[in-house]
Amino acid sequence: MSIRRLRLQNFRNLEAIDLQPAPGLNLLCGANGSGKTSLLEAIYLLSLVRSFRSKKLKNLIAHAATQFTVFAELVGSEGRDYPLGIQRRTSLDETEVLLRGQRPGSLAELASQLPVQLINPDAFRLLEGGPKERRQFLDWGAFHVEPGFIHAWQRFQRALKQRNSLLRHARIDPLQLDLWEKEIAQTGEAVSRYREDYLQTLTPLFNHLLERLSNLDAIRLHFQRGWDKNTDLAENLLVSRGKDREQGFTQSGPQRADLRVSIAGRSAIEVLSRGQQKLVVSALKLAQGELLARAGKKQCIYLIDDLPAELDRNHREVFCRVLESQGSQVFITSVDAEALDIDWQYPEKNLWFHVEQGQISPKT
């Protein structure tokens, strides 16, 4: 999966961009505020119809404009090209998406077209933030690799909502409660198994990548499924009814799952430096991409914003080498071109771009 051509109009400070990126590594350098992160944001948007730094997509429209357009010609895994366009207008409350000239059936359909992994200076949040981000990490992987996951996940979410709503009623219809709990138990156990299996397959790839990226060892990934280890979900729901009613929601289950990342029994976030955290998160995300490619699915596009941040020369170099060996399309940004001036293995394959005041031009 890669982008053959990318056109942007009035996307933040990128007024008119027409870019033909390399299928491999694209290196974008330019001063602060020149538009590097905005370019990555546009690619991320193509995958998820979301931004990683604004809740409202209207904020991405250039100040003086009334709409933005992001348009890409994608090369699919079968080698055929197809178009994907996203537009947002100030006058409309929805974002318009056209995939192969048609509205995609769902966001899930769109996301499965163009898997993207973002590694930016906020990456450590995956370790530091709440369990939600780590669940999303696992779910991203399970979604892309396990065809049955999304169906189980959607049914689980729906049933959970129904149970939570019943719990808040003054009088509960026991038949209804039984029914939804059965559905939660069945689909929730499935979701949990998908997550656990996914992590199990991911772990050796993660260990291997971490070994290449750093000299850290003994980082342990541990899946917590979100409810008591010794009971099945159906039983857990039954015994928690009273307490759940008091609280007005379902307190344990797959919706509380977490991925613990630890080193020598302690939480990684408390032990590792920022740079080391970045390497751990990078190994996790690169492993996800690699697993996806191995599963014979798709190549991810990697977006690495401010690659040199927090990394010394040696780690930067190793990181770049690992990216080079992934065989995926990668967009790397840096303020300094010098920081990326390393001993590349295939320098002739890399494309360099200079970003300046919303303009992006190829460098020779």
Residues near ligand ADP (CB under 6 A): 12-13, 30, 32-38, 59-63
Partner from Mg ion, ligand ADP, none binding residue 34, C-beta < 5-8 Å depending on class: ligand ADP
For Mg ion, the closer CB: 141 or 358: 358
- Least distance (Å) from ligand ADP to the CB of residue 336? 12
> To 5 degrees, how large is the angle CA 250–CA 256–CA 261?
165
Residue of 2, 26, 37, 350 that binds Mg ion (CB under 5 A): 37
Cα–Cα distance list, 130 to 17, 191, 221 (Å) = 37, 20, 16
Do residues 53 and 42 lie in contact, with contact meaning Cβ atoms separated by under 8 Å?
no
For ligand ADP, the closer CB: 30 or 308: 30
- Least distance (Å) from Mg ion to the CB of residue 137? 22
Partner from ligand ADP, Mg ion, none binding residue 171, C-beta < 5-8 Å depending on class: none
For ligand ADP, the closer CB: 6 or 159: 6
- Least distance (Å) from ligand ADP to the CB of residue 226? 36
Mark the segment that binds Mg ion (CB under 5 A) among 31-39, 60-68, 128-136, 200-208. Answer: 31-39
- Least distance (Å) from ligand ADP to the CB of residue 308? 13
For ligand ADP, the closer CB: 10 or 328: 10
- Least distance (Å) from ligand ADP to the CB of residue 278? 17
Separation CA 107–CA 116 (nearest Å): 14
Q: What are the beta bridge partners of residue 304?
A: 119, 332
Q: Three-state SS for 169?
A: coil
Separation CA 247–CA 139 (nearest Å): 27
Separation CA 128–CA 283 (nearest Å): 16
For ligand ADP, the closer CB: 54 or 325: 54
The H or E element spanning position 125 is helix 125-128
- Least distance (Å) from ligand ADP to the CB of residue 42? 10
For ligand ADP, the closer CB: 59 or 176: 59
Strand 81-89 versus strand 95-99 pairing type: antiparallel
Sheet of strand 219-224: strand arrangement:
219-224, 258-263, 266-267
Contacts of 329 (CB under 8 A, 6+ apart): 1, 2, 3, 21, 22, 23, 24, 26, 299, 301, 302
Mark the segment that binds Mg ion (CB under 5 A) among 35-43, 71-79, 114-122, 311-319. Answer: 35-43
- By CB under 5 A, name the binding residues for Mg ion: 36-37
